[in-house]
Structure 1
């Protein structure tokens, strides 16, 4: 009698009906990985678990089984809605390592989750940090980027949101791993300076060991620090997928790679998404872009949208059944947005601009190759509603465009690289087609087409609107493809000047540029940019406007901007000298500018 009662009591105590998690999981034939997913004393049913090849769901006991060959070296869990991961320091504990040398041995890997009923959250997408100990990149990162990112995190928390960081690959710069002794372990420590609720990482081409050939072997350092190179998780109402779209061959140790989502990763992706409701927004993070950078072969006529790499159609076929798919990528060190059917890709400018060079030349001046300031993408969610914007490091959130007075943008060696010994090299460099040289300007520096203004709208997409007024009258605005002049002097000319060569300081042609021609050379322009959410960004451009690196650094640029509200946009600016006399065409000097009911002292150079 006693023995029977003891057996019954033991079984009852172990039963999930009594709130206990049973961890003594029996083996099953052919199953090499097993485990339990739990939260406190309760099993978690319906959690998705994968070894990178197979995907399964936990049962009512929180148990799972996988018939795994363990070729990926990890098993990982996708947290269900209503749960989040436990963390070790800043990193989520979503994976466990398995023994690849004993593929037939049975291993148990358990996962603990925490309750999380929050739905609204903020994500910061950081692309191409690429620190290696060169160009004072660590100092630039710690002094400029970290504080800016943590301020964004703090501001989101004040709104009651959880905040996460997702990197988009190339956290490190493998070209210099072994010469500067800074690789992924050291970058791991630098990432700890950030203060989100958790940091998720994505694999980039420069996160592979340059001395090892083969995609799997070369990713060992990455996997040892950050786990699987592809996986998924849920936050609130959103399903996130991190993909590895870099196939690192490294033939003859020449750092060679292909931008590709392999067949095995595509197969895993389809298995992963098979368990996701089609009305769930999908956010995909990967390193290399999905689409080509948009261009306009003719003003206001966008070129057709094309996949940049061969995996594009396979990827689309994997996600085509979902209503809303957002793709965040890096690699290009530029900003652009492409919408195609149910997908929108945001290619995100680099944290370090163009490999930290411009900030090395002039402290605080981080510039990407398309002229965008170095920065990151912010995604704010409210339920299933997604809003995103580009955050420029060192600037406030409203800094979404930069404007140039092309009357003053003549680029010459004497002006921007006066110490360079072979100025003809700069003429040749400009003549390659970048512009702002003798093709656009006369020998005395005056423009061949006067009074043009160029506006670079960093995060533009086709749902945005750009408007410009002169004396209260609208100007014709043309979207064009071209080069950003500030990128040219901040990067290319500075390389000639300070390094004696220009190996890679070249601008990138982009189509988030807008051209207007004013009637006068000195009239201020009211510029209004409206994004797809109805947010309005405005400023009055004082003209003539100088063109130099110092003029556009964060401190000088923001202090010179006169923001106007949407209601005052249609009012033409009025200028008064220090004696209170109205001036119709102000020349250089100090004035009081009034627009509507707002006034500000301005100094026109």
Structure 2
């Protein structure tokens, strides 16, 4: 095949008095690329003649308009044809006027905004001219002085929207009364987003909000990045469905299980059709180790769009959504997420609440191999950007900051205390939110905890600080649902599902819904007289050390009558403002002691089959874990029935009449 030869000269000038241009000297030759039947067929070597054209990098174009390109020598005439190419598709454009100094071609009405490669046909050959970013606009707008990114924010009907915050991830500005903004951006982060204002919603591609665009031109070239919004009413009252880690990798029947989860979300939305419902994911949408096996972020986009409709879903980046092949750069590590899903950090508003997404997974130590040595850290320039973002938000507005990693860890010795993660930038993040009621919402742990402002160390801050750590959609990486269908639960016994945050003005109440379960079900009760793991039959597990560890964790606690006539209650949305009451059917109140426990169903549905999946010779990383959202009740006998009542922080009550003796098996607690 022949090779295209390009000789480059550079010059700087104003294009239409506002655009810089790149001077390209092009020598004709054939391109050996495929084309459709209605496009000119590339041919072999032939005679060459030189010409010079000036291609603007960026142009705003009213639909159906024309583009004028400067040239020297008049080599391109009206007898030729221009082709705009993107993603292998060629669109022909007629040259309507030509002279020694320029030529003009008409752009068809079906051309959309995007970056296009220009080709020209001459003497039966198609030749590359260069690239141009075309932004289709309803009307020409002035470029603010000094701006390298600019645009207009308007409604679908063309009404400009004033006072909208727009940011390049480092700087923030607001639109003027005409809806126009401009930022003197260095384009370091590679994107521009609008902070969707209250009373509006972004347009969407499927469930994904169109609230950001990637920058494509060099930092000194102004480019138009405009957005459209749609007005909405009744937004003061709405719900957010917080969805924790997904870890989609096309393994362990995870895609099938995820589709069932989305069916549950769809059913919930249908049962609350009169309410405004949005969703926010909390990272680990995919599983970077398995990208090489064919399930990557574009697959996640396709899966959720095919199985969830008519909902806006905002997304947070997780450690498993960063590029494991990146080297020493957080920006390159976040490029796949930016390309397919969302920026690493951004903000938006719904009703009377402000929402902020932060990336607290620091990949600066990545070396391009699969070991992925990330640290949990709020790396720069996010803190300074957040301060600028919040400068536009009134102090009376509650702020919800979504990260993947939690800021606080579970205290193993005190159920009313948490530990601030010391070396993660969490302190700076909390400080940046000083003066606001701030709710940190995150995932990563695949378990549940809720820290209140009255808990330690939150009670030492000058402003109300909450943390809501949301259990995973995938629970325990989809294992329990794979090994024990119908018992898909986390390592601390919380069912796979999603948190429901219900907003009314500036007030918010939260709850949790297990996948396939009624949202009124908030706990499980176990009759420990019938819990016994000493008779587990191992099919594959033979290693004595591994079996000994299993016995130590899960067999010994129930041996020798230690739990005789005890009932264990797992309250999975527990916080320290909740209460629990246990009475016998005869009206006797029994003490419910808060304890740090293993969940029996998690042992049966997850640990036993997972540890027995093959001939293990070391302790598995996945196993049922100790948590504090358990309550132990000592009963007088093995037969008396109980009435259990849990009351949450907001006065909602959840009740169960427990008939005893109650058998214990995965079938007993299975979700049908």
How far apart, in 2, do the equivalents of 1:275 and 1:402 lie? 45
Identify the residue that residue 598 of structure 1 maps to in structure 2: none
C-alpha change, 1:418 and 1:78, in structure 2 (3 Å) is: same
Identify the residue that residue 202 of structure 1 maps to in structure 2: 316
Q: Name which of structure 1's ranges 106-115 and 309-318 shifts more when overlaid on structure 2.
A: 309-318
Identify the residue that residue 258 of structure 1 maps to in structure 2: 375
Unaligned runs of 5+ in 2: 1-136, 453-457
Q: Deviations over 1:275-318 (max 9, x none)?
A: 00111121221111111124445xxx634553465322111111
Q: 2:354 aligns with which of 213, 219, 239?
A: 239
Larger Rg: 2
**In proportion to residue count, which structure has more helix?**
1
How far apart, in 1, do the equivalents of 2:401 and 2:631 lie? 30
How far apart, in 2, do the equivalents of 1:226 and 1:509 lie? 35
C-alpha change, 1:306 and 1:480, in structure 2 (3 Å) is: farther
C-alpha change, 1:421 and 1:52, in structure 2 (3 Å) is: closer
Instruction: Output aligned runs, 1:17-28, within 5 Å.
Output: 23-28=139-144
Unaligned runs of 5+ in 1: 1-20, 556-605
How far apart, in 2, do the equivalents of 1:497 and 1:156 lie? 42
Give 3-state SS (helix, strand or coil) of 2:568's partner: strand
Q: Deviations over 1:147-198 (max 9, x none)?
A: 11111122222xx2221111100010111110x2111000111111123421
Instruction: Output aligned runs, 1:77-116, within 5 Å.
Output: 77-99=194-216, 102-116=218-232
Give 3-state SS (helix, strand or coil) of 1:429's partner: helix
Q: Do the aligned residues in 2 keep the contact of 1:296 with 1:511 (CA within 8 Å)?
A: no
Identify the residue that residue 555 of structure 2 maps to in structure 1: 437
C-alpha change, 1:519 and 1:66, in structure 2 (3 Å) is: same
How far apart, in 2, do the equivalents of 1:480 and 1:96 lie? 49
Identify the residue that residue 473 of structure 2 maps to in structure 1: 351
Identify the residue that residue 161 of structure 2 maps to in structure 1: 44
**Following TM superposition, by how much is the alpha carbon of 1:410 offset from its aligned partner in structure 2, in angstroms?**
2.1
* Runs of 4 or more above 6 Å deviation: none
Instruction: Output aligned runs, 1:435-584, within 5 Å.
Output: 436-442=554-560, 447-470=561-584, 471-501=586-616, 503-555=620-672
Determine if the alignment matches structure 1 residue 184 to structure 2 residue 297.
Answer: yes
Instruction: Output aligned runs, 1:118-157, within 5 Å.
Output: 118=234, 119-142=236-259, 144-157=260-273
Identify the residue that residue 19 of structure 2 maps to in structure 1: none
How far apart, in 2, do the equivalents of 1:245 and 1:66 lie? 26
Give 3-state SS (helix, strand or coil) of 1:219's partner: helix
Identify the residue that residue 314 of structure 1 maps to in structure 2: 428
**Following TM superposition, by how much is the alpha carbon of 1:467 offset from its aligned partner in structure 2, in angstroms?**
0.9
Identify the residue that residue 411 of structure 1 maps to in structure 2: 533
Give 3-state SS (helix, strand or coil) of 1:148's partner: helix
Instruction: Output aligned runs, 1:204-223, within 5 Å.
Output: 204-213=318-327, 214-223=329-338
**Following TM superposition, by how much is the alpha carbon of 1:458 offset from its aligned partner in structure 2, in angstroms?**
0.3
How far apart, in 1, do the equivalents of 2:205 and 2:556 lie? 58
**Following TM superposition, by how much is the alpha carbon of 1:227 offset from its aligned partner in structure 2, in angstroms?**
2.9
Instruction: Output aligned runs, 1:230-379, within 5 Å.
Output: 230-248=345-363, 249-251=365-367, 253=369, 254-297=371-414, 302-303=416-417, 305-307=419-421, 309-322=423-436, 324-339=437-452, 340-341=458-459, 342-379=464-501
Q: Do the aligned residues in 1 keep the contact of 2:193 with 2:211 (CA within 8 Å)?
A: yes
**Following TM superposition, by how much is the alpha carbon of 1:47 offset from its aligned partner in structure 2, in angstroms?**
0.4
Give 3-state SS (helix, strand or coil) of 1:141's partner: helix
How far apart, in 2, do the equivalents of 1:420 and 1:186 lie? 34
How far apart, in 2, do the equivalents of 1:98 and 1:250 lie? 25
Q: Do the aligned residues in 2 keep the contact of 1:246 with 1:258 (CA within 8 Å)?
A: yes
How far apart, in 2, do the equivalents of 1:306 and 1:227 lie? 28
Q: Do the aligned residues in 2 keep the contact of 1:285 with 1:328 (CA within 8 Å)?
A: yes
Q: Name which of structure 1's ranges 260-269 and 488-497 shifts more when overlaid on structure 2.
A: 488-497
Determine if the alignment matches structure 1 residue 398 to structure 2 residue 398.
Answer: no
TM-score, structure 2 normalization: 0.74
How far apart, in 1, do the equivalents of 2:551 and 2:189 lie? 50
How far apart, in 2, do the equivalents of 1:64 and 1:200 lie? 24
How far apart, in 2, do the equivalents of 1:503 and 1:424 lie? 14
**Following TM superposition, by how much is the alpha carbon of 1:138 offset from its aligned partner in structure 2, in angstroms?**
0.8
**Following TM superposition, by how much is the alpha carbon of 1:53 offset from its aligned partner in structure 2, in angstroms?**
0.3
C-alpha change, 1:528 and 1:309, in structure 2 (3 Å) is: farther
C-alpha change, 1:368 and 1:309, in structure 2 (3 Å) is: farther
Give 3-state SS (helix, strand or coil) of 2:381's partner: helix
How far apart, in 2, do the equivalents of 1:156 and 1:514 lie? 33
Identify the residue that residue 16 of structure 1 maps to in structure 2: none
Q: Name which of structure 1's ranges 271-280 and 336-345 shifts more when overlaid on structure 2.
A: 336-345
How far apart, in 1, do the equivalents of 2:214 and 2:173 lie? 17
TM-score, structure 1 normalization: 0.82
Q: Do the aligned residues in 2 keep the contact of 1:45 with 1:59 (CA within 8 Å)?
A: yes
C-alpha change, 1:262 and 1:526, in structure 2 (3 Å) is: same
Q: Do the aligned residues in 1 keep the contact of 2:148 with 2:219 (CA within 8 Å)?
A: yes
Give 3-state SS (helix, strand or coil) of 1:515's partner: strand
Determine if the alignment matches structure 1 residue 164 to structure 2 residue 278.
Answer: yes
Q: Do the aligned residues in 2 keep the contact of 1:528 with 1:537 (CA within 8 Å)?
A: yes
Give 3-state SS (helix, strand or coil) of 1:499's partner: coil
Higher normalized contact order (CA 8 Å, seq sep 6+, divided by chain length): 1
Q: Do the aligned residues in 2 keep the contact of 1:165 with 1:196 (CA within 8 Å)?
A: no
